[in-house]
Amino acid sequence: MKTDFDLIVIGSGAGGGVLAAELAHSDCDVLLLETGRHWPTESFKRWEAKASHDLFWPMRFAPLPGGDAVAFLSGRCVGGTTTVNTKVALRAHEQDVAKWHAATGLTNDDGAPFALADLDPYYRRVEDVLRVRERSDWDKCIHTVQAGFRALGAELEPVHSYTGPECEKYGSCLQGCPTGAGKSTMNTYIAQALPGGRLDLRTQATVRRILIDDAPGGMRAAGVEYVDAAGACHVVKARRVVVAAGALNTPQLLMRSGLRNAALGRHVGLHPARLVYGLFDEIQDSHRVYPISAHCMQFQRDEDGGFVLEASTVMDPIAFATTIRDEHGPLWGQRLVDAVRPYRRYGGVLAMVNDENNASVRLDAQGAERIEVNLNAREQQRIDAALRFSRDVLRAAGAREVYWTGLISTHTQGGCRMGDDPARSVVDRHGQCHGVRDLYVADASLIPCTVSVNPSLTVMALATRLAEHLLTEMAG
């Protein structure tokens, strides 16, 4: 196998998949390493337990005071989490990006504070590639909860998503889209780049460390060491290395590679979320829809409440039955049986909360992963308010009973945040690590402060921006 490349990219999700394809299309020799397997579209079935095993990282947990925990979910396959998410395509709010300069001193190439406008051309390019469209084709369960929003003076509006018109609303977004309507990086960017011959995709390739040389002018990345599915170790070299392994994995890989930075692994954002379910008199069949096709943005800004509600929520049966709770805690025994039996009559919302990046990921003395979450009073107030309003909406819509899940994090961000100030950031405005040349980061760990909406479109835009920068730099 080839051992020298222009670029090595670690991770094939929203950041790595986009970046690798963009560079390969421009005649760079790119090696794309993915620790998961390549599952083609025709392999996707709505087999929830198997998909959870094949397509996701094993679930991680971070303890909370009082004995509860936050569950972290992310994809581990070609396409990363873009293969197993709901394909919501929302740009960050102007207020979200305004926080970045304050947090890390981040500026644009003109020296002005980095703003949402600096991402506009890259958002547009990603939206064109993915053919983002509005989803106003609502099903009954969304119209049901819409009545509750209106009763409380709020409104649902159609979401934009990277789903094609061939979507048949199986409801199996988290198990991989069986029609290919869900436009992951696997079936768009990567699939379009592979036939050109400049992209080498190696799956079940787990990177142990980044090779860093003490070169003239300072430290620089020179390649990576990875282990294949058979356990054999390989060393590959490149002019530049990009880490896009996800907000929990990228900081750990940089730590294992010897990087030392006060901000590394810190300032992790959860974007805490929970699913809230209402039991109605009529059948809703929320498990057989495109799940996130509407949202309420009335409380998006911090001063307005600091949360976004999406409808209808995801209704995978195993996850539903194993996570529902009420004010007394998780349901067990006969109460659980009675609650699950009318499964088809549930509808609900997904509540996502703005957090302040107070979590962290680190390695303990034995090299094991440790995730710590420290929610402050403002964050907890937003979490409580989001649950309270969600319950009120469902009651106003006619729900007889309301249940919900514990906190989950599917939009983890930060940990390698970008900025001009090396004391408060890990990488510069173009994702290059402070103190190590030719080593870049291109995933959600870049984001200095959590965005208030699903971050995948923002990660893809940042990756497109980095690709443009690398091409200019390499040409020069």
pLDDT tens-digit map of 133-176: 999 999 999 999 999 999 999 999 999 999 999 999 999 999 99
How far is residue 453's CA from residue 116's CA, in Å, rounded to a whole number?
A: 14
Dihedral of CA atoms 342, 343, 349, 355 in degrees, nearest 10, equals: 110
Q: For 442-467, what is each residue's pLDDT tens digit? A: 999 999 999 999 999 999 999 999 99
- Written as six digits, the tokens of 107 are 């500026």
Name the CATH superfamily, with its identifier, for domain 1-38+79-87+90-131+184-263+415-476. FAD/NAD(P)-binding domain (3.50.50.60)
pLDDT band at 208 (very low <50, low <70, confident <90, very high): very high
Give the distance from CA 411 to its chain's centroid: 4
How far is residue 270's CA from residue 267's CA, in Å, rounded to a whole number?
A: 10
**CATH code, residues 45-76+135-176+269-411:** 3.30.560
pLDDT band at 327 (very low <50, low <70, confident <90, very high): very high
pLDDT band at 237 (very low <50, low <70, confident <90, very high): very high
Average pLDDT, the chain: 97
CB 356 within 8 A of CB 379: yes
The whole model's pTM is what? 0.97
Which pLDDT belongs to residue 16?
98
CB-CB neighbours of 37 under 10 Å: 14
Which pLDDT belongs to residue 374?
93
- 154 to 308, 350, 413: CA distances (angstroms): 12, 15, 28
Q: Please tell me whether residue 109 adopts helix, strand or coil conformation.
A: coil
Q: For 50-101, what is each residue's pLDDT tens digit? A: 999 999 999 999 999 888 999 999 999 999 999 999 999 999 999 999 999 9
Which pLDDT belongs to residue 65?
86
Burial environment of residue 205 by CB neighbours within 10 A (0 to 12, 13 to 18, 19 or more): buried
How far is residue 269's CA from residue 359's CA, in Å, rounded to a whole number?
A: 6
Within this chain, domains 1-38+79-87+90-131+184-263+415-476 and 45-76+135-176+269-411 share the same CATH topology: no
Domain boundaries, the chain: 1-38+79-87+90-131+184-263+415-476, 45-76+135-176+269-411
pLDDT band at 359 (very low <50, low <70, confident <90, very high): very high
Which pLDDT belongs to residue 258?
96
- Beta-bridge partner residues of 451: none
Give the distance from CA 363 to its chain's centroid: 22
